[in-house]
Amino acid sequence: MTPQAAPRPAEGMPATDGAPFLVAEDVAKSYGGVQALKGVSLTVRPGEVHGLVGANGAGKSTLIRILAGLTQPDRGRIDVDGTPASISAPQRAVDLGMTFIHQELAFVPGMTVLQNIMLGLPQRQRFGVVDWRSIAREVEPVARRVGLAAPLFSSVKGLSVAEKWLINICRALVRKARLIVMDEPTASLSATEAETLLRIVEDLSRSGVAVLYVSHRLDEILRLCHRVTAFRDGRSVATMEGAGLTRLALVEAIVGGAVERLEKPAGDVRRNEVVLAVSGLTRLPRVRDVGFELHRGEVLGIGGLVGAGRTELVRLLYGADRPDGGVMRLDGAPFAPRRPADAVKAGFGLVPEERRSEGLVLAKSVAFNLHLSSLSRIVSGPLVPLVSAARQRTLSNDMIRDLAIKTPDMHAPVGRLSGGNQQKVVIGRWLLRAPRILMLDEPTRGVDIGARGEIHRLIRDLARQGMAVLVVSSEPDELPDLCDRVLVMAEGRIVRELRGSALTRNAIIEASYAEGRNAGDSSP
């Protein structure tokens, strides 16, 4: 990997060498005897976009909880505007000028846009009644500034994730926040929505508002941030800026060394037997006349923009939806699943896009979640279908070891694991069932770069063992190194097949914006 300096922040951004707004020094925190923070330090200056990166479990979320007043540190010092600050409660953080926008966005569905913006703020009254129209006149310029198009008196029901982000940013600006902490702001946004949000962050910085930007997306970090602090294993290990802020430096700081490149098979996997053949598959309006072949031992990528029909295609293959037309053949025989159970019985496995809501029972243990799809392997027998604790323990611990799942033990609630380890549990569930075809929808969304590399290596290993793998991803950087071929979808159709030297990030992006073109082969 060639070191590449970060681009300079946008013209007009303020200098960031003045007195700091926030200083955290040697902050430590333990939970139940386990050290989540072993001593981290962070300095954020007015008008600065400061990146915070690190693997899942490195301590980023724990520090944010301390700054937000949700938990108290065991030791360390926090200064705000040069004065020691004891952040004993969330309201204290607000009073100090800090606002936090988490991945799980805070809003009340039954309220209007304006009411959600004003959550937790004193509201002007007139004759004993909240004067919403007067409040709206003051909020309207803030809404225009961030590009919030939804009418202030409309309901938040049905708004997109991007619009809900804008509501939260409006709330921060109405509170006159001097520091806004954003946790994975673009994880669930389309490319266009993400670009809008990045421009808002740049505008906030130009106006003097500091932003602590937490993200696994290194391209965004390199574009936006004046400085970046990396956490690893509960410690702050580096702060980078200027010429020292490169992708290579970020990766090495996060993982403690270089990330190995994946190796693909030298031969052409299209010579392997066809496991799944699809022709004319249609479910209007999202999937239109889709056809492709998936080979044994192949990693086939499905790229394209959000809304292109990728997830809808996977749902048809998995029997979650019924097609309007088309033919599917599995090992040459007709295949028409009426429900997911039919697909599972035929040898399919699916790692869904929303792992927390669709792939896991968060309150249950790692062992429980690992065996959701393979209960027959841990019951004592068909006549007395009782769970064998010994068999469950052996299989669970073997999978935890094989996938390097970081968990205290098999009994730990899966909801307490990091995003990367939760994803490994979902994958491990299917490996216990040994599917012939494994489909993964956004397999590394919200996953740090270290766990991302582990998941990619696991996918390639499964393909080498003969499994056919289908990977859906909206990140064009992810697919070229991982996949043997990539099919790009646009407007419900496959518009391009890419392989070999034609399989590049730029080619995926260009094809993703195709409109109504027929599928073509741009491969050598």
User: Which CATH number is 260-347+436-524's, of 3.20.20.140, 3.40.50.200, 2.120.10.30, 3.40.50.300?
Assistant: 3.40.50.300
Decide if pLDDT at 363 tops 80: yes
Query: Rounded to whole angstroms, how far apart are CA atoms 348 and 317?
Result: 9
Average pLDDT of the segment spanning 102-116? 84
Decide if pLDDT at 447 tops 50: yes
- Predicted local distance difference test score (pLDDT) of residue 10: 45
Query: In degrees to the nearest 10, what's the CA dihedral of 262, 268, 269, 271?
Result: -170
Decide if pLDDT at 339 tops 80: yes
Fold designation for 22-255: Rossmann fold (3.40.50)
pTM of the complete model beyond 0.95: no
- Predicted local distance difference test score (pLDDT) of residue 475: 79
pLDDT level of residue 384 (50, 70, 90 thresholds): low
pLDDT level of residue 511 (50, 70, 90 thresholds): confident
Question: If residue 101 lies in a helix (H) or strand (E), which one and from where to where?
Answer: strand 98-101
Average pLDDT of the segment spanning 278-282? 97
Q: In Å, what is the CA distance from 356 to each residue of 104, 108, 471?
A: 12, 21, 18
Omega into 285 within 30° of 0, i.e. cis? yes
Query: Rounded to whole angstroms, how far apart are CA atoms 426 and 371?
Result: 10
Chain centre to alpha carbon of residue 484: 23
Q: In Å, what is the CA distance from 329 to each residue of 18, 52, 203, 281, 373?
A: 65, 47, 52, 11, 24
The mean of the pLDDT values for the chain is 86
Amino acid at 516: G
Decide if pLDDT at 15 tops 60: no
Average pLDDT of the segment spanning 286-314? 92
Decide if pLDDT at 4 tops 50: no
Kindly report the three-state secondary structure assignment for every residue of 5-32.
ECCCCCCCCCCCCCCCCEEEEEEEEEEC
Give the least confident one: 109-123, 236-250, 503-517: 503-517
Nearest Cα to Cα of residue 335 among 319, 315, 311, 321? 319
Decide if pLDDT at 97 tops 90: yes
Which part of the chain is CATH 3.40.50.300?
A: 22-255, 260-347+436-524
Do residues 184 and 103 make contact, with C-beta atoms less than 8 angstroms apart? Answer: yes
What is the SS3 assignment for 476?
coil
The pLDDT tens digits of the residues spanning 159-214 come to 888 888 899 899 999 989 999 999 888 877 777 888 889 999 999 999 999 999 99
Burial of 185 (0-12, 13-18, 19+ CB in 10 A): buried
pLDDT level of residue 356 (50, 70, 90 thresholds): confident
Query: Rounded to whole angstroms, how far apart are CA atoms 88 and 212?
Result: 20
Query: Rounded to whole angstroms, how far apart are CA atoms 435 and 225?
Result: 43
Tell which wins on pLDDT, 403 or 298: 298
Decide if pLDDT at 376 tops 80: no
DSSP secondary structure, 285-339, as one string: TTEEEEEEEEETT-EEEEEE-TTSSHHHHHHHHTTSS--SEEEEEETTEE---SS
- Predicted local distance difference test score (pLDDT) of residue 258: 63
Do residues 459 and 469 make contact, with C-beta atoms less than 8 angstroms apart? Answer: yes
pLDDT level of residue 294 (50, 70, 90 thresholds): very high
The pLDDT tens digits of the residues spanning 72-86 come to 999 999 999 999 999
pLDDT level of residue 1 (50, 70, 90 thresholds): very low
Decide if pLDDT at 305 tops 60: yes
Residue 293, C-beta contacts closer than 8 angstroms, at least 6 positions apart: 270, 274, 276, 277, 278
